[in-house]
C-alpha cells in the first residue's frame, strides 16, 4: 500500500493521547482502555482466587476454625461476586474493547468517551464493593443474596447495601459497554466486511451485548427492591405484608442465567478465533457456529427456572424449563463439534494458546455433561444443594471462561505488547493449571454426590469427606501455582520475549494487519474486505494508491450499512476528555451517600453528575469537522 | 483459500457525508434496555399480585387523573414531533419554541402526578403493603424518567445552534425527542396495566 510519512505524522498527531497525567486520565483510546480493563479484571481474578484459597484452607479438614462462620460467609460471598461480576464479564469486555475496532478495521469504538466512562465505572464499582470488607461488613449471603436472609431483620449490617449499590453501579458500566459494542459492531465495520464475513468473536460479543440489554434490568430492579425493602420500609419481599420471597429469585435468575451466557459466549468466540488459526484452516461450519451463538443468547432467556427446581413449581413449568435447558446444550454442542472438526480436518500446531483452547474444550464438555445431570429434575432434586453443583459451575465457568481467557492472553498479548510470550513456561503453566484444576474440582462432584452440602463453612468429622477435601485443597493450590507461573511468564516475556512482528501466528483476521502494538490510529489505510479471511486471501483491489482511505484530516472512521457493510458515512471520533472519569467519581459519591441515606450528599452528588454530563456533551466548535 | 471473493462497491470514502446516526442508534439501545426495566417492574407487579385479591377486585385505582396525565404526555409528544418536523425544514426558532412548550407540559405532568399522589393515593403508600410498594415503585420510576427527559430537553433547548446544523456528528433534537416519546409510551402502558385493567377486572367481578 502507498504509505507516506506526512499522512502518518498527521494521523499520529490526531490520534495519540499526550503522555502526561492529563492524557493518562483523559484518554479515550480503545487500546489503552482495553488493556486497563484486562489488567483490572485480572487483578480481581487474583483477589477472588486468594479468597477461594482461604476458603479451601478452612475446608481442608472437618471442623477447622481458621475462619469464623461469619468470616467464611463473607469471603465466600466476596469470592462469588468478584469472580462472576468483576472478573468474568469485564475481562471479556477488555478483550472486546481492545480487539473489536481492530477486527472490524475501525479506528475506535462508536462512543469512545462512553468507553472510558464504562471502564472507570467498572473500576470504581469494584473499589466500592471492596470498601465493605474494611468495615468488617462485607455482604455475607452469597452472590445470589436470597431474601429473606438478606433483609435487615437477619442481615442488619451495611454489607448487603454495598451489595445492592455496587451491582447497580456495575450495571451502568455493563449496559453502557453493551450499547457501545452493538453500535460499533453493527455500524462501524470496514467497507466490505458483510455480516457473513465477520469474525466469530464479533458474533458472540454482539449477541451478549443484546442479551445484556434485555437481562440486566431485572438485576437492577431486583437490587432497587432489595435496597428499598432494607432501608426505606417497603414490602416487596416480606411475606407478612403481601410481598413474595420468590420475587427475588425469579428476577435474580431471569438475569442470572443469561448472565452465564454473557460470561461464556465471548470466550467461545475467542476459541472460534484461536482454534482455526492453530489448525491452519478456516473453521468448520462458520454459519452454524454463528447461528448457534445467537440462538444460545436467545434460548438462554428460557432456562432460568432450572436454578429453582427445588423451590416448588408446577409440573408444566418444570418440564418446559428442563426442556429449555436441554435445548441450550445443543447449541453449545454445535460449537464444540465445529472446533473438534476444525482440529480434525486441519494441521494443528501445538502452541500454548492451542493447549489452553483444547484444554478448555475438555473441561467444557465435562462441565456440560454434569450440567445435563442437573437439568434432569429428579437428579437436580438430589444434587441441588451439594458440592456437585459447585463442581459443575466451576467446570463450566473455568472451562469456558478462564481457560479461553488464558488462550486469549497467549494469543493476543503479542499483539497488545509487541512481544511473544515464552512458550515453554506457558505450556508448563498450562499443565499445572489443568492438573490442579481437575484434582481440585472433580472430587467436588464426588463429595457432592456423597452428600456434602455447599455454602457451609465446615463439615462434620467421620462422614468420609476429609480425604477428598484434602485433595480438593491441594488441587486448588496447584491451580493457583499454575496461574502464578503464567503471571511470572508475562513479566519475564515482557522484558525479554522475542519481538512479535505484525502477524506472528499467520492469523487471518484484520487485527493482525496492524503493527504490534497497534498504532493509535490502527491501520493507516482503512482496510477493504472481500473475504472472511482477509489476511489469508489475496485481494487485488486492496491497494489504495490515491490515499482515499486514509482520512487524515480529522479523527475519522467510516460507517457502513448493517448487513453488507457498504460505506455510507464518515464518523467523527471525539477527543480525550476528563468528563468520563469525573462523572464516575461523582456517581461513586452518589452510591456511597445513598446507602448511608445522607440525602443532601446524595442530591449534591446527583447534581454534580448532571453538571459533569452537561460539560461532557457541550458542543465545542473546534471539534466539528467540515465535510461539504 | 477457496472462499468466494466479492469486492465491496467502489465508494470513495473521502466524499462520504458526516455520519449523524450513531446517537440515535445508541438511543434505541437505551430505550430497549429501559423498556426491559419497565417490563421487569410490570412482571413484578403481576407476580406480587398472583393469588391475591387486591389486584383483581378489592380496590381498583381511580383512573380519571391517570387518563388526563396520559393526554398531557401524548399532546406533549405531538408538539415535540411538530418541532422535529420544523428542525428538518430548518425552522429552528419554531423548533426551540416547540421544545420549551413540551418542557412546560412535562412539568405540568409532574405537578399533576404529585397532586394525584397527595389526593387519590393518600391512603395507599409505599409502606402500606406490597401493592403500594410496587405501584409507587413503577409510577415514581416513571416520574424519574420524565425528569430525566425534561433535563435532556432543556439541555438541548439551551444548546447553541448545535442541533440543527448539518455539519455536526449528532442530531440531539431528534435523539432526545425519541427518548421523550418513549417516556410517554411507558405511561400509556402504566395506565393500561395499573389503572384500566384492574377496573375492568373489578367490573367483571361485580357484574358477573
Residue numbers in A near B5 (CB within 8 A): 530-531, 537, 539
Count of pairs with CB atoms under 8 A, one residue in A, one in B: 189
Q: What angle do CA A334, A402, A298 make, to 5 degrees?
A: 40
Q: What is the pLDDT of residues B122-148, one digit of tens each?
A: 888 899 888 899 999 999 999 999 999
Q: For residue B165, what pLDDT is reported?
A: 56
The span from the CA of B89 to the CA of B84, in Å, is 9
Q: Is the pLDDT of residue B168 over 90?
A: no
CB within 8 A of B105, min separation 6: which ones? Answer: B72, B73, B75, B76, B79
What nine digits make up the cell of A48?
477472588
Distance from CA of A371 to the nearest CA of B (A): 28
**Do B3 and A282 make contact, defined as CB atoms within 8 angstroms?**
yes
N residues, chain B: 208
Q: Is the pLDDT of residue A124 over 90?
A: yes
Q: What is the pLDDT of residues A422-475, one digit of tens each?
A: 999 999 999 999 999 999 999 999 999 999 999 999 999 988 899 999 999 999
Q: For residue B161, what pLDDT is reported?
A: 63
Q: For residue B2, what pLDDT is reported?
A: 47
A311-320, A345-354, A519-528: which is most confident: A345-354
Residue numbers in A near B12 (CB within 8 A): 548
DSSP assignment letter at B169: S
**Do A570 and B17 make contact, defined as CB atoms within 8 angstroms?**
yes
Residue numbers in B near A622 (CB within 8 A): none
Residue numbers in B near A232 (CB within 8 A): 126
Region A171-180: mean pLDDT is 97
What nine digits make up the cell of A415?
499483539
CB A209 within 8 A of CB B28: no
B25 touches chain A (CB under 8 A): yes
Q: Is the pLDDT of residue A1 over 50?
A: no
Residue numbers in B near A624 (CB within 8 A): 167-169
- The residue of chain A with its CA nearest to that of B171 is A619
Residue B137 Cα to chain centre, angstroms: 16
Give the mutation candidate from B23, B29, B156, B159 for the A interface (greatest A CB count, under 10 A).
Answer: B29
- Decide: residue B90, CB within 10 A, 0-12 exposed, 13-18 middle, 19+ buried: exposed
Region A573-583: mean pLDDT is 94
What nine digits make up the cell of B45?
407487579
Region A287-295: mean pLDDT is 96
**Do B8 and A175 make contact, defined as CB atoms within 8 angstroms?**
no
Q: Is the pLDDT of residue A142 over 70?
A: yes
Q: What is the pLDDT of residues B101-112, one digit of tens each?
A: 999 999 999 999
Q: Is the pLDDT of residue A61 over 70?
A: yes
- Calculate the alpha carbon distances from A157 to A125, A359, A434 in Å: 19, 43, 40
3-state helix, strand, coil in chain A (%, to 5): 70, 5, 30
Does the CA dihedral A280-A284-A287-A290 come out positive or negative? negative
Q: For residue A311, what pLDDT is reported?
A: 85
DSSP track, A127-148 = HHHTTGGGGT----STTTT-TT
**Do A221 and B14 make contact, defined as CB atoms within 8 angstroms?**
no
**Do B133 and A610 make contact, defined as CB atoms within 8 angstroms?**
no
Q: Is the pLDDT of residue B56 over 60?
A: no
Residue numbers in A near B137 (CB within 8 A): 224-225, 228, 234, 236
Question: Which residues in chain B (134-163) have CB-CB distances under 8 A to chain A?
Answer: 134, 136-137, 151, 155, 159-160, 162
- The minimal CB distance from B22 to the residues A110, A217, A218 is found for A110
Residue numbers in B near A216 (CB within 8 A): 33
Lowest mean pLDDT among A73-82, A424-433, A521-530, B66-75: A521-530
- The minimal CB distance from A570 to the residues B9, B18, B151 is found for B18
**Do A187 and B25 make contact, defined as CB atoms within 8 angstroms?**
yes
Question: Which residues in chain B (163-192) have CB-CB distances under 8 A to chain A?
Answer: 167-169, 172
B204 touches chain A (CB under 8 A): no
Residue numbers in A near B19 (CB within 8 A): 559, 568-572
Q: For residue B201, what pLDDT is reported?
A: 82
The confidence band for A627, taking pLDDT boundaries of 50, 70 and 90, is very low
N residues, chain A: 628
Q: Could you give the dihedral angle defined by the CA atoms of residues A283, A284, A287 and A292, in that order, rounded to the nearest 10 degrees?
A: -90
Region B64-74: mean pLDDT is 95
**Do B44 and A610 make contact, defined as CB atoms within 8 angstroms?**
no
DSSP assignment letter at B54: I
- The minimal CB distance from A213 to the residues B3, B32, B127 is found for B32
**Do B33 and A526 make contact, defined as CB atoms within 8 angstroms?**
no
**Do A242 and B54 make contact, defined as CB atoms within 8 angstroms?**
yes
What is the ipTM score, two decimals? 0.94
Give the mutation candidate from A208, A236, A565 for the B interface (greatest B CB count, under 10 A).
Answer: A236
How confident is the prediction for chain A on average, in pLDDT?
A: 92
Distance from CA of A359 to the nearest CA of B (A): 28
Give the mutation candidate from B3, B12, B15, B147 for the A interface (greatest A CB count, under 10 A).
Answer: B3
Residue numbers in B near A617 (CB within 8 A): 155, 172
Residue numbers in B near A528 (CB within 8 A): 7-8
What nine digits make up the cell of A352?
500454548
CA-closest candidate to residue A213, choices A174, A166, A240, A243: A174
Distance from CA of A184 to the nearest CA of B (A): 9
Residue numbers in A near B155 (CB within 8 A): 614, 617
Residue numbers in B near A610 (CB within 8 A): 151
* Main-chain phi, psi angles of A556, to 5 degrees: -130, 150
3-class state of residue B206 by DSSP: helix
Give the mutation candidate from A246, A547, A569 for the B interface (greatest B CB count, under 10 A).
Answer: A569
Q: Is the pLDDT of residue B1 over 70?
A: no
Q: Is the pLDDT of residue A241 over 90?
A: no
Q: For residue B163, what pLDDT is reported?
A: 47
- The residue of chain B with its CA nearest to that of A240 is B129
Residue numbers in A near B25 (CB within 8 A): 110, 182-183, 186-187
What nine digits make up the cell of A343?
482440529
Block residue for cell numbers 467540515: A626
The confidence band for A628, taking pLDDT boundaries of 50, 70 and 90, is very low
**Do B32 and A187 make contact, defined as CB atoms within 8 angstroms?**
no
B39 touches chain A (CB under 8 A): yes
Give the mutation candidate from B22, B41, B56 for the A interface (greatest A CB count, under 10 A).
Answer: B22
DSSP assignment letter at A525: S
**Do B40 and A254 make contact, defined as CB atoms within 8 angstroms?**
yes
The confidence band for A307, taking pLDDT boundaries of 50, 70 and 90, is confident
Q: Is the pLDDT of residue A622 over 60?
A: no
Distance from CA of A514 to the nearest CA of B (A): 20
- The minimal CB distance from A565 to the residues B8, B127, B128 is found for B8
Residue numbers in B near A537 (CB within 8 A): 1, 3, 5
The span from the CA of A200 to the CA of A198, in Å, is 6
**Do A236 and B134 make contact, defined as CB atoms within 8 angstroms?**
yes
CA-closest candidate to residue A618, choices B162, B87, B99, B26: B162
The span from the CA of A271 to the CA of A365, in Å, is 14
Residue numbers in A near B27 (CB within 8 A): none
CB within 8 A of B84, min separation 6: which ones? Answer: B95, B173, B174, B177
**Do B44 and A221 make contact, defined as CB atoms within 8 angstroms?**
yes
CA-closest candidate to residue A52, choices A389, A441, A448: A441
Residue numbers in A near B36 (CB within 8 A): 213-215, 217-218
Amino acid at each position: 500500500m502507498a504509505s507516506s510519512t506526512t499522512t502518518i505524522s498527521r494521523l499520529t498527531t490526531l490520534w495519540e493521547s499526550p503522555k502526561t497525567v492529563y492524557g493518562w486520565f483523559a484518554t479515550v483510546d480503545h487500546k489503552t482502555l482495553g488493556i486497563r480493563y484486562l489488567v483490572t479484571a485480572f487483578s480481581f481474578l487474583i483477589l477472588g482466587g486468594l479468597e477461594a484459597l482461604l476458603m479451601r484452607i478452612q475446608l481442608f479438614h472437618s471442623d477447622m476454625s481458621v475462619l469464623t462462620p461469619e468470616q467464611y460467609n463473607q469471603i465466600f460471598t466476596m469470592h462469588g461476586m468478584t469472580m462472576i461480576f468483576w472478573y468474568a464479564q469485564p475481562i471479556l469486555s477488555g478483550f472486546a474493547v481492545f480487539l473489536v475496532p481492530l477486527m472490524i478495521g475501525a479506528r475506535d469504538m462508536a462512543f469512545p468517551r462512553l468507553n472510558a466512562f464504562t471502564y472507570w465505572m467498572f473500576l470504581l464499582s469494584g473499589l466500592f464493593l471492596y470498601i465493605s470488607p474494611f468495615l468488617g461488613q462485607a455482604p455475607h449471603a452469597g452472590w445470589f443474596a436470597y431474601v429473606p436472609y438478606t433483609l435487615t431483620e437477619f442481615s442488619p449490617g451495611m454489607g448487603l447495601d454495598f451489595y445492592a449499590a455496587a451491582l447497580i453501579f456495575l450495571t451502568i458500566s455493563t449496559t453502557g459497554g453493551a450499547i457501545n459494542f452493538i453500535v460499533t459492531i453493527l455500524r462501524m465495520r470496514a467497507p466490505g466486511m458483510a455480516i457473513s464475513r465477520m469474525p466469530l468473536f464479533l458474533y458472540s460479543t454482539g449477541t451478549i451485548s443484546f442479551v445484556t440489554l434485555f437481562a440486566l434490568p431485572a438485576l437492577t430492579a431486583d437490587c432497587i427492591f432489595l435496597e428499598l425493602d432494607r432501608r426505606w420500609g417497603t414490602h416487596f419481599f416480606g411475606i407478612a405484608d403481601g410481598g413474595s420471597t420468590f420475587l427475588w429469585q425469579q428476577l435474580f435468575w431471569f438475569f442470572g442465567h443469561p448472565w452465564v451466557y454473557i460470561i461464556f459466549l465471548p470466550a467461545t468466540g475467542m476459541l472460534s478465533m484461536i482454534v482455526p488459526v492453530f489448525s491452519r484452516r478456516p473453521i468448520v461450519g462458520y454459519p452454524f457456529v454463528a447461528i448457534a451463538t445467537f440462538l444460545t443468547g436467545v434460548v438462554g432467556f428460557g432456562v432460568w427456572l432450572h436454578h429453582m427446581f427445588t423451590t416448588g413449581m408446577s409440573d408444566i413449568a418444570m418440564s418446559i424449563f428442563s426442556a429449555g435447558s436441554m435445548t441450550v446444550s445443543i447449541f453449545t454442542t454445535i460449537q464444540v463439534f465445529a472446533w473438534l472438526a476444525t482440529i480434525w480436518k486441519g494441521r494443528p500446531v501445538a502452541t500454548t494458546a492451542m493447549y489452553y483452547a483444547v484444554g478448555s474444550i475438555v473441561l467444557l464438555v465435562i462441565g456440560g455433561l454434569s450440567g445435563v445431570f442437573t437439568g434432569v429434575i429428579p437428579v437436580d432434586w438430589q444434587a441441588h444443594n451439594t458440592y456437585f453443583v459447585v463442581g459443575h459451575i466451576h467446570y463450566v465457568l473455568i472451562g469456558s471462561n478462564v481457560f479461553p481467557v488464558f488462550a486469549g492472553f497467549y494469543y493476543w498479548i503479542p499483539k497488545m505488547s509487541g512481544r511473544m510470550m515464552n512458550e515453554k513456561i506457558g505450556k508448563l503453566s498450562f499443565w499445572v493449571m489443568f492438573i490442579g484444576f481437575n484434582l481440585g474440582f472433580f472430587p467436588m462432584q464426588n463429595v457432592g454426590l456423597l452428600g456434602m452440602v455447599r455454602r457451609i463453612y465446615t463439615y462434620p468429622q467421620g462422614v468420609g469427606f476429609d480425604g477428598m477435601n484434602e485433595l480438593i485443597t491441594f488441587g486448588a493450590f496447584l491451580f493457583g501455582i499454575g496461574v502464578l507461573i503464567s503471571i511470572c511468564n508475562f513479566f519475564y516475556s515482557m522484558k525479554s520475549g522475542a519481538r512479535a512482528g505484525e502477524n506472528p501466528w499467520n492469523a487471518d483476521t484484520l487485527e493482525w494487519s496492524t503493527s504490534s502494538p497497534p498504532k493509535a490510529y490502527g491501520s493507516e489505510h482503512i482496510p477493504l474486505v472481500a473475504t472472511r479471511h482477509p489476511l489469508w486471501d489475496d485481494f487485488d483491489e486492496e491497494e489504495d494508491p490515491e490515499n482515499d482511505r486514509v482520512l487524515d484530516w480529522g479523527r475519522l472512521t467510516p460507517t457502513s450499512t448493517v448487513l453488507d457493510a457498504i460505506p455510507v458515512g464518515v464518523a467523527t471520533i471525539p477527543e480525550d476528555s476528563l468528563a468520563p472519569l469525573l462523572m464516575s467519581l461523582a456517581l461513586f459519591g452518589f452510591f456511597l451517600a445513598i446507602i448511608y441515606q445522607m440525602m443532601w450528599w446524595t442530591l449534591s452528588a446527583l447534581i454534580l453528575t448532571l453538571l459533569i454530563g452537561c460539560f461532557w456533551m457541550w458542543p465545542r466548535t473546534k471539534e466539528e469537522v467540515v465535510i461539504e | 483459500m477457496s472462499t468466494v471473493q466479492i469486492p465491496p462497491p467502489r465508494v470513495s470514502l473521502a466524499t462520504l457525508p458526516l455520519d449523524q446516526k450513531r446517537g440515535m442508534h445508541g438511543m434505541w439501545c437505551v430505550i430497549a434496555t429501559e423498556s426491559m426495566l419497565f417490563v421487569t417492574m410490570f412482571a413484578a407487579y403481576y407476580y406480587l399480585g398472583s393469588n391475591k385479591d387486591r389486584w383483581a377486585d378489592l380496590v381498583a385505582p381511580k383512573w380519571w387523573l391517570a387518563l388526563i396525565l396520559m393526554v398531557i404526555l401524548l399532546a406533549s409528544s405531538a408538539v415535540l414531533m411538530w418541532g422535529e418536523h420544523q428542525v428538518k425544514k430548518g425552522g429552528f426558532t419554531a423548533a426551540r419554541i416547540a421544545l420549551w412548550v413540551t418542557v412546560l407540559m412535562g412539568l405540568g405532568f409532574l405537578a399533576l402526578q404529585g397532586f394525584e399522589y397527595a389526593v387519590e393515593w393518600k391512603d395507599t403508600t409505599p409502606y402500606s403493603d406490597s401493592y403500594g410498594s410496587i405501584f409507587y415503585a413503577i409510577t415514581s420510576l416513571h416520574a424519574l424518567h420524565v425528569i430525566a427527559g425534561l433535563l435532556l430537553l432543556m439541555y438541548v433547548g439551551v444548546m447553541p445552534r448545535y442541533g440543527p446544523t448539518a455539519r455536526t456528528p449528532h442530531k440531539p433534537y431528534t435523539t432526545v425527542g425519541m427518548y421523550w416519546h418513549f417516556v410517554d409510551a411507558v405511561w400509556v402502558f402504566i395506565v393500561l396495566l395499573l389503572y384500566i385493567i384492574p377496573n375492568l377486572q373489578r367490573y367483571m367481578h361485580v357484574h358477573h
